[in-house]
């Protein structure tokens, strides 16, 4: 009986957590109508801008970048998430960077998949943090 309870507990625990690769794919950001593709390179999670909703787009170039020489670079194809590594204890991708083109700022970041299938993207700046929801897009 104890073995059965242990087995059921392990099965339930494994079903309750998302696999690291469950975040891969296309996501709609919470602002500016941007579409970001999350993909893996080795053990690192990255994300790049792959499109967006034209009627919501605010810019097509990196006009808010603090470096004047980068303000003319195209947003399409721009890698905005990098250096993320998976932490099984947190069931999240952590220790990476998120570049927010609408503000021209780079934040420390954490990404995790909520139980509802919504991606929780958290940016940290000093002691402050903000979490936003991204929604999966079908190809």
Domain ranges of the chain: 2-137
Residue 7, number of CB atoms within 10 A of its CB: 10
Does 4 have pLDDT greater than 50? no
H-assigned helices in the chain:
2-16
| Model pTM score | 0.84
- Top-level class of domain 2-137: mainly beta
* Band (122; pLDDT cuts 50, 70, 90): very high
- Split at pLDDT 50, 70, 90, the class of 32 is low
Which residue's entry shows tokens 């690769």?
Answer: 21
Q: Which residue has the higher pLDDT, 40 or 13?
A: 40
Neighbours of 35 (CB within 10 A): 17
pLDDT for residue 136: 96
Q: What is the distance between the alpha carbons of residues 95 and 98, in angstroms, rounded to a whole number?
A: 10
**pLDDT at residue 2 greater than cutoff 90:** no
Average pLDDT on 77-83 reads 97
């Amino acid at each position: 009986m104890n073995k059965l309870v242990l087995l059921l507990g392990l099965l339930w625990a494994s079903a309750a957590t998302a696999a690291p690769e469950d975040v891969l794919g296309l996501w709609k950001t919470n602002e500016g109508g941007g579409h970001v593709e999350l993909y893996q390179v080795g053990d690192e999670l990255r994300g790049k801008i792959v499109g967006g909703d034209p009627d919501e787009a605010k810019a097509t170039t990196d006009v808010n970048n603090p470096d004047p020489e980068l303000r003319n670079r195209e947003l399409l194809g721009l890698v905005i998430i990098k250096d993320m590594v998976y932490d099984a204890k947190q069931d999240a991708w952590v220790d990476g960077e998120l570049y927010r083109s609408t503000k021209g700022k780079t934040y420390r970041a954490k990404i995790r998949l909520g139980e509802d299938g919504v991606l929780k993207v958290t940016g940290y700046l000093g002691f402050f943090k903000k979490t936003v929801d991204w929604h999966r897009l079908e190809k």
